[in-house]
Structure 1
Amino acid sequence: MTLYTSETVDGAIQNALQQLQLDKSQVEVTVLTQPRKGFFGIGARKAKVEVKPAVKDQPEVADHQIDETPSAMDTKTTIEPEITTDSESKPVTETTEGPTVDRQAEYRQVATELNQYLSEIVSQLGIDATSQVEVKHRHVTINFETEQEGLLIGKHGRTINALQSLAQVYLNHKRFSKLEVTLDVASYRERREETLTRLAENMAREVVATGKPVYLDPMPSFERKQIHSVLADNEHVMTYSAGTEPKRAVVITLR
């Protein structure tokens, strides 16, 4: 992995482009560290980025070549069953193996831009943090590292959940609504998942014991889905959501 540094992110990218003798459209950029001026020079740091040549596009095959050459069809990945095309349709860009190389490059690019956007917001909150981006198929995960974990997570996860909702809005605005994003810090999501699982099981036992429904505290949609999932196969209780955002909550009641 080759890293490039400068006083600014753009400067680090320009240094990389000069050394690689490429333009920005030919590379993939991952921002590893945002620059910081520090206080009278104390705690200052330079921007650090990883720049590598982008994966070249696969050569296109003309429509008549696809129709007339069986070997060309054999080399293409199987198309997802739900995607249907005819002879006049545009070429399919996604396969059962996931998005094509071109689409994955677009996902990585918008994920990098999202990371820069969030890093600026976190910095404005007074939180000193670094972040790493991971893109797998249609899911973006951004892991933050900071000594101010409690401040970034917030009470009951409100701060990091708000940032995650903002991140999803950003992707939707960029026309990448099919991408899902998860923000994490210090394995908070894993710990929160364990907490929600215990909560769902305990409240289900209470409903069975008392015969009365239980209304959980409002939570974001992805956490409500987990509660529903945990109790989906429970023979004694059922769940549903009630209320309107942002106060929509899960209700557990006898089946």
Structure 2
Amino acid sequence: MGKFVAKSVDQAIEKGLHSLNISKDNAEIIVIQNDRKGFLGLFKKDAIVEIAVKENNFKNQVTKLEMKKSEAESDHKPKYDKKVDSYRLDKETIYQNLSKYLIDIISQLQIKAQVKNIKIAKKSVYIEFKTDTEGLLIGKHGLTINSLQELSQIYLNHQGLSYVNVVLDVANYRERRKEILKHLAIKTSREVVAKGSPVYLDAMPAFERKVIHQTLQNSKYVATQSSGQYPYRFVIVLPSDV
């Protein structure tokens, strides 16, 4: 979901659809503010629209991914062979197999994508995708790509690589999302100081909550803590003297 500003509603919608890489049929569009020409050049207003992936399409994607998670729990658990540890493949082969597995799932979600880059470190692997429909692969609030990332972690766990952290990315989404979370943390901290009471953020995955905690960890005025049960854990930002 995102807000887009332009001189007219049509231009704002076009800008948003292009930014999210989705068609109008797959978009949920809300006009927040209509454009206004004003009088003699005064009091002009730009149009503001909010655009998100359509709920039905989003729910279908989530349902399919949840089914895939269940399958991964059982189908990708390696079988031990006393004679040959055949499941102990080298990391590079495992990561290549994981990439093919993910592309297969993504194609079942009616998304055309390919692996653009794989970066391998000792305890992490970064897999970057390329697609013309980035908005669909990312999903509403990042849920699609986050679910795929969780699925990837399950896959690696069953391959004996539970110590490896996997990150999936497309169109530099992770870095963009990190900056958004930092701004959210700072904005929320100011709100907490002004109100003098805690603010409860929406539920988010652990690696996103970590960004909030790290951004505000040195603040003299606010503190943070995670609360709730998985997968609905969220961050509370509260005055440091509470």
Band the TM-score falls in, shorter-chain normalisation: 0.5 to 0.7
Counterparts of residues 87-102 of structure 1 (less than 5 Å): none
Picking from 102, 107, 112, the partner of 2:96 is 112
* Distance in 2, Cα, partners of 1:106 & 1:215: 44
TM-score, length basis structure 1: 0.58
Which residue is 1:180 aligned to? 165
- Indicate which of 179, 185, 191 corresponds to 2:176: 191
Distance 2:123 2:102 in 1: 19
Whole-angstrom CA distance in 2 between matches of 1:179 and 1:108: 12
Please give the alpha-carbon distance, in whole angstroms, between the structure 1 residues aligned to 2:94 and 2:123.
12
- Cα distance in 2 for residues equivalent to 1:110 and 1:219: 28
Q: What amino acid is aligned across from residue 158 of structure 1 in structure 2?
A: L
Q: Deviations over 1:205-224 (max 9, x none)?
A: 11011111000000001000
Q: What is the deviation of 1:107?
A: 2.1
Aligned to 1:232: 217
Indicate the residue corresponding to 1:247 in structure 2. Answer: 232
1:168-199 residue CA offsets vs partner (Å, 9 max, x unmatched):
11111111001000000000001100000000
Of the three residues 117, 121, 129, the one matched with 2:105 is 121
1:107-154 per-position Cα deviation (integer Å, ceiling 9, x unaligned): 222111111111110111111111032212211011000001011000
Larger radius of gyration: 1
1:13-67 CA deviation, whole Å, 9 max, x = no partner?
xxxxxxxxxxxxxxxxxxxxxxxxxxxxxxxxxxxxxxxxxxxxxxxxxxxxxxx
1 or 2, which has the higher helix percentage? 2
How far apart are 1:106 and its partner, in Å?
Answer: 2.2
Distance 2:123 2:226 in 1: 26
- Structure with higher RCO (Cα < 8 A, 6+ apart): 2
Partner AA of 2:164 in structure 1 = L
Match of 2:23 in 1: none
Residue 156 in structure 1 maps to residue 141 in structure 2: yes
TM-score under structure 2 length normalisation? 0.61
The 5 Å alignment of 1:1-255 reads: 106-131=90-115, 132-255=117-240
CA RMSD, 1 decimal: 1.0
Q: Segments of 4+ in structure 1 off by > 3 A?
A: none
Amino acid at match of 2:162: S
What SS class does the counterpart of residue 160 from structure 1 fall into?
Answer: helix
In the alignment of these two chains, the number of paired residues is 151
Provide the C-alpha distance between the structure 2 equivalents of 1:169 and 1:224, rounded to a whole number of angstroms. Answer: 20
Report what 2:47 is aligned to: none
The offset of 1:155, in angstroms, is 0.6
Q: Which residue of 1 aligns with 2:66?
A: none
Tell me what 1:70 maps to: none
Identical amino acids, percent of aligned pairs: 50
Helix, strand or coil at the partner of 2:181: helix
Q: Distance in 2 between matches of 1:153 and 1:110?
A: 24
Give 5+ residue unaligned stretches, structure 2.
1-88
Partner Cα distance (2:167, 2:126) in 1: 5
**Secondary structure at the residue paired with 2:90?**
helix
Q: CA deviation at 1:253?
A: 0.5
Aligned AA for 2:111?
A: I
